[in-house]
Amino acid sequence: MIMYLEDYKRWLEADLEDSALTEELRSINGNDEEIKDRFAVALKFGTAGLRGVLGAGSNRMNIYVVRQATQGLANWVKTQGGKQLVAISYDSRINSDVFAKTAACVLAANGIQVRIYDALMPVPALSFATRFYGANAGIMVTASHNPAKYNGYKAYGPDGCQMTDEAADIVYAEIQKTDILTGAKMMGFEEGMKAGLIAYVGDDCKEALYDAIKARSVRPGICKTAGLKLVYSPLNGSGLVPVMRILKDIGITDITIVPEQQYPDGNFPTCPYPNPEIFEALRLGLELAEKSGADLMLATDPDADRVGIAMKCPDGSYELVSGNEVGVLLLDYICAGRKETGTMPDRAVAVKSIVSTPLADAVAAHYGVELRSVLTGFKWIGDQIARLEAAGEVDRFIFGFEESYGYLAGPYVRDKDAIIGSMLICEMAAYYRSIGSSLKQRMEEIYDQYGRYLNKVDSFEFPGLSGMDKMAGIMEGLRKDPPKEIGGCPVVKVTDFKKPEETGLPAANVLIYKLEGGAEVIVRPSGTEPKIKTYFTTLGKDLAEAQAQKDKLAEGLKPIFS
């Protein structure tokens, strides 16, 4: 019998604790495609942990996959010495709380101590708790901004950063040695609590996080008097409690929460794709902002590590602001504010990903700040903070960002943080309001000063089991036969990040094309979804010219991805 059919039969005949999984398995009996999709491969554990569609089988997110992954993690933790402790948090997704408690039970059964949040809390809270308790590892149950049918499991190292490649490889090897249905040790949650192995994260840890965030304020007190009017949406995720707490603490009281998106709901009924990068997720918030005349609308994604905004324009309309633009606005605000208040450290360092806008380089240079570019993935920004910390210079770090709406201003966590992002965006908006300006006006001033940069991202999807092979083939083709021109614009330099000797960075599946005239195109397969992303940077005398150039380049790339 074919292996995946054997696995299906074994699951079908097992006495599964989750009856919904058994029902699902019965419903696909005889359907080879559906069985193959669930059992032909297993979800692969990597530096971003696991992510997949909820359901039955080794290629789905369920309690058995979580148990197997956690047993693999436990085996690794037991070799690490230290406190033998793991921190756990979870967001609002379907079964996030179940998976978090399941992980706690496996760890406890292995004699490993657990500190788990007593209610959903976001990624930055997990990163903070991992560091606060001196844990060996952290687990965040989330699928970030994926559609509602997904869930996932992010694994963190003792530094509060997403797990390194080396550690993830060891954990994955241990997972593969663990039988998915019977191989994980288990202990009841209450039993684990009684034994003192499982405990809830304490108020001391929660308050220390809020204190650390507020300590990074650039102009403390500005929000108390500026009269900022805000609309906020947690997109039915984990941001509601921490974001509202921090905004109220800094003095913002005029906050309207989008009622349909206020409370945790893993079905995300009003935004099938709960991603603050896309208009549909922010539509209800924008409608509310227009009705109320708010200065600013902001939304955090389900695990509250990313934040998107819409700013009010002088004519009363609202404009969505890209992650690159918010990153540049924050970098400019932090640099100018710290210089003005005398809190800028000597030899200040900011960090961005290689796919984020070169406009940030120009802004950093203007303020005399060193800007480091790193591979995509916030763990590489965390790695730069760790290097500064190891040299006793962690205070030099002032800001890090990715174009995908992730921001961090301080070394207290090692992942992107929508709580501090929300605080600083609101503080920045309040400051500009207090001097008779606005976010929109400041953005235009930045463009006037440095040039009209345009940064856009296009994605090409490759679904199904053959999708990854097709993506690999495209990337191989681009390396074997590099394009001489894109959209009629000559390529003057190609940088292949699979060659660390050329880039000075770890190897990565990224290609950067510098074009005649200064434009740039980056091609990168997504690390978490079956898609290839293309990043465009164009520079024009105005937006129309920059957009026309981008359109021409995008048209030139289409045949490669068809």
How does pLDDT run across 127-157, given as a tens digit for each residue?
999 999 999 999 999 999 899 999 999 999 9
Distance from first CA to last CA of the chain, Å, rounded? 37
pLDDT, residue 468, reads 82
pLDDT, residue 167, reads 94
Say which of 89, 144, 233, 422 is annotated catalytic.
144
Torsion angles phi and psi, residue 320, rounded to 5: -70, 140
Residue with tokens 């380049």: 553
Task: State whether the Cα torsion 192-194-200-205 is positive or negative.
Answer: negative
Q: In the structure, how many helices (H) and strands (E) does the chain have?
A: 20, 21
Is 442 in contact with 518 (CB distance < 8 Å)?
no
For the question of residue 437 being annotated catalytic, the response is no
CA separation for the pair 562, 465 (Å, rounded): 17
Beta bridge partners of residue 512, listed in sequence order: 495, 522
The token pair that represents 436 in the structure block: 């008779």
pLDDT, residue 528, reads 66
What is each CA distance from 352 to 33, 40, 497, 514, in whole angstroms?
42, 38, 16, 18
pLDDT, residue 48, reads 82
What is each CA distance from 452 to 56, 517, 527, in whole angstroms?
50, 14, 30
| pLDDT beneath 70: ranges in the chain | 1, 527-528
pLDDT, residue 170, reads 96
pLDDT, residue 1, reads 59
The helix/strand/coil state of 81 is coil
Query: Is residue 79 exposed (0-12), middle (13-18) or buried (19+ Cβ within 10 Å)?
Result: exposed
* pTM confidence score: 0.94
| Sequence letter at residue 98 | V
Taking only Cα atoms into account, the Rg of the chain, rounded to an integer number of angstroms, comes to 24
How large is the angle between the packed helices 418-434 and 439-450, nearest 10 degrees?
90
pLDDT, residue 396, reads 98
